[in-house]
Chains A and B, each alone.
Chain A
Amino acid sequence: MSYFAVPKISRRVLKVWLRNRDVFMKTYKVNFLPPFLEPLLYLFALGFGLGRYIDVIEGISYVKFIAPALIAISVMNSSFFECTFGSYVRMYYQKTFDAIIATPLSIEEVITGELLWGATRSLIYATIMLPVIAAFGLIELPSSLLIIPFSFIAGFLFATIGMCFTAITPNINSLNYPTFLFITPMFLFSGTFFPLALLPEPIQYFALATLPLTHVVRITRALTLANLSGFLLLSLAWIVLVSLILFVLAVNLMKRRLIV
């Protein structure tokens, strides 16, 4: 079985997406709270707390500097955790995937539906965070509204990354490795809380090549500051290209795991 066979999918992926949406809506009170509270906590602790000692960073206040990063981090976390721990629970403990593939749906469609749902979750979180952050006057409008469609694209990228790990993890605890070794470093070193330019040049290139969050932060920050440049298209192209490759890989890895 090839790792890069093109998945055969139909509009039935929507049924899987709907199933996850229905669960999400059943528990919406729990689900809507984190994206609302999280940016407030970070803004107060880092922006208004620590940030008081920083006059200006790259020409703007510290709190304005980290505001877009907080959105980017939330986009990353929501889809990555949905498609790692969330998908693993559905796959292994709840046997939801087994139940679905006993119907006309295929495993390719189940996984694609999961990934689209992961991306949707990023979109939902970004959409809730935007007005909270905008209320503090930290982002430019209307350019920041483009973050809403962009969060879906970026969310899809982290969903595919998560799903690849889910497909190869021997058990649920091992999913902590990609979390600590990949997500946490990205959280800190992707131009989130200090500019990427502070890092030695080779490491900057390394970060741009291997840490997807750098591209997501770069685009999000350009949108909140209404400071767009042609270079951003490169970042967008990187995100789209890597997502497509990892999408195909994730589906094939999952097929290997589940179709025996």
Chain B
Amino acid sequence: MRVVVCIVSVIVAEDLTKQFGEFVAVDSVSFAVGEGEVFGFLGPNGAGKTTTMKMIQCVSPKTAGKLTVFGMEVSTHQREIKKLLGVVPQENNLDPDFTVHENLMVYSRYFDIPRTSAERIIAELLDFVQLSHKKDTLIEQLSGGMKRRLILARALINTPRMLILDEPTIGLDPQARHLIWDKIKSLQSQGITVVLTTHYLEEAARLCDRLVIMDYGKILVQGKPDELVREYIGTDIVEAENDPKVIACLERNASSYDVLGGRVQVYTNNPQEITYALLKECELGQITARSATLEDVFLKLTGKKLRE
């Protein structure tokens, strides 16, 4: 018996471009997100991640190219698309005049959810994000993590087919972050497609089935996190001090390396061999060997220069 796995693309972007006057924020990017995937957008500040997200959620019109969500063109089917989306924005925009429950109730009206079903959904969602005990609390009395969880609940009020999360765990403590991660994983298991941006590479590696790394409006690479690490870095990294002797030594061994500030990073699939060679031939003091991570890929591709 043959099992045919057919992955439907729920977002398709072809040569998608966004310009603000002369500035090209998103420069002819193409990608496709499959149904049920967790898909990540990574990149330094100003890379064009949030702009791409805003085009997907139909609040920022594209300048050129093609973009469809659930097979519908974003420039003509905004209402239909927005009905199927749940959005967690980068900035908290809960209504400070309302309590936790009122925030969700007022939001449910925007989706034409009848009051009785809204009450049921709200009770379930508050339970899901563990805020049932804060039902009647005003927004300003919530902690950062609680606000973020409430926004997640708000994004789920219309039982969306796709969630858009712009920096879902920004500014949260590790406990709150892990809770959000659990929730995202559990939503994925319910078949919801998740599109997210994040600056936390560990978060991306943990959550994303596939991701793209963007910079200056372009997609630099896309793929599965572990495959990207293997392809661009190797399994491991050996770090040594930035010293001309080390460099010369690495050149002799034809190793793949980068100089990052005061450190030299050697990309390798065989850390023992490199470490041994460096220690033996180059008389160095400090050498560290560690597993390569997505952060290494990110820094290798986008550089260490600070972005304003």
Q: Which residues of A contact B (CB under 8 A)?
A: 12, 15, 18-19, 22-23, 26-27, 94-96, 98-106, 259-260
Cα of A24 to Cα of B109 in the assembled complex, Å: 17
Cβ–Cβ < 8 Å partners of B98 in chain A: 22-23, 26
Are A104 and B87 also in contact (CB < 8 A) when A94-B93, A95-B93 are?
no
A30 nearest CB across to chain B (Å): 12
Q: Interface residue tally of chain B, by bracket?
A: 20 to 34
Q: Do the beta carbons of B79 and A96 come within 8 Å of each other? A: no
Residue B59 at the chain A interface, CB threshold 8 Å? yes
Residue of B61, B79, B95, B102 near A104 (CB, 8 A) is: B79
Q: Would you list the 8 A-B pairs with minimal beta carbon distance, nearest first? A: A95-B93, A103-B110, A102-B87, A99-B93, A23-B97, A104-B79, A15-B109, A104-B82
Kindly report which residue of chain B lies nearest to residue A16, judged by CB atoms.
B110
Residue of A nearest to B21 (CB): A260
A104, B97: Cα distance in complex, Å: 22
Contacts A102-B89, A104-B79; A96 near B110 (Cβ below 8 A): no
Q: How far is the CB of B38 from the nearest CB of chain A, in Å?
A: 20
Residues of A within 8 Å of B79, CB to CB, are: 104, 106
Q: In the assembly, what is the distance between CA of A106 and CA of B61, in Å?
A: 13
The answer on a CB contact under 8 Å between A98 and B93 is yes
Q: Does B83 touch A at the CB level, under 8 Å?
A: yes
**A96-B93, A98-B93, A99-B89 given as contacts; is B59 within 8 A of A19 (CB)?**
no
Chain A, Cβ-Cβ closest to B164: A102
Given contacts A22-B98, A27-B97, A259-B61, 7 further A-B contacts (CB under 8 A): A15-B109, A26-B98, A95-B91, A99-B89, A99-B107, A260-B20, A260-B60
B interface with A by C-beta (< 8 Å): 20, 57, 59-61, 78-79, 82-83, 85, 87, 89, 91-98, 102, 106-107, 109-112, 158
- Could you say which residues of chain A place their CB within 8 Å of the CB of B60? 259-260
Specify the chain B residue showing the minimal Cβ separation from A89. Answer: B96
CA A15 – CA B107 in complex, angstroms? 9
18 pairs from A and B in contact (CB 8 Å cutoff): A18-B109, A19-B106, A19-B109, A22-B98, A22-B102, A22-B106, A95-B89, A95-B92, A99-B95, A100-B110, A101-B59, A102-B85, A103-B111, A104-B82, A104-B110, A106-B78, A106-B79, A260-B20
Q: Which of B82, B94, B97 has the most CB of A within 10 A?
A: B97
Q: Report which of B89, B95, B158 forms a contact with A94, defined as CB distance below 8 A.
A: B95
B110 surroundings in chain A (CB, below 8 A) = 12, 15, 100, 103-105
* Chain A, residue nearest B18 (CB): A260
Query: Which of chain B's residues have a CB closer than 8 A to the CB of A98?
Result: 59, 89, 91, 93
Which residues on B sit within 8 Å (CB–CB) of A105? 110
Residues in A neighbouring B82, C-beta threshold 8 A? 102-104
User: A17 vs B119: C-alpha distance in the bound complex, in angstroms?
Assistant: 21
Assembled-state Cα–Cα distance A96/B91 (Å): 11
CA of A99 to CA of B54 in the docked complex: distance in angstroms?
A: 12
Q: Is the CB of B93 within 8 A of A103?
A: no
Task: Assess whether B95 is in contact with A96, with CB atoms less than 8 Å apart.
Answer: yes
Distance from A251 Cβ to chain B, minimum over Cβ atoms (Å): 16
B61 to chain A, nearest CB (A): 7
A259 contacts B111, CB within 8 Å? no
- CB-CB under 8 A from A99, the residues of chain B are 89, 93-95, 107
Cα–Cα distance between A12 and B111 once the two chains are bound (Å): 9
Closest to A100 in B: B110
Shortest Cβ distance from B81 into A: residue: A104
- Most B Cβ at <10 Å: residue of A18, A98, A105, A260: A260
Q: Nearest Cβ distance between residue B236 and chain A, in whole angstroms?
A: 43
With contact pairs A103-B110, A105-B110 given, residues A26 and B97 touching in the complex (Cβ less than 8 Å): yes
**Given A22-B102, A23-B97, A259-B59, A104 and B91 contact (CB-CB distance below 8 Å):** no
Cα A95 to Cα B83 in complex, Å, equals 20
Most buried by B among A26, A101, A259: A101
Return B122 CB to nearest CB of chain A, in Å: 15
The answer to whether A104 and B83 have CB atoms under 8 Å apart is yes
Chain B residue at minimum C-beta to C-beta distance from A20: B97
User: What is the CA–CA distance of A259 and B61 in the complex, to the nearest angstrom?
Assistant: 8
**Smallest distance from the beta carbon of A91 to chain B beta carbons, Å?**
11
What separation, in Å, do the CA atoms of A94 and B92 have in the docked complex?
Answer: 9
Cα distance A104–B112 in the bound complex, in angstroms: 9
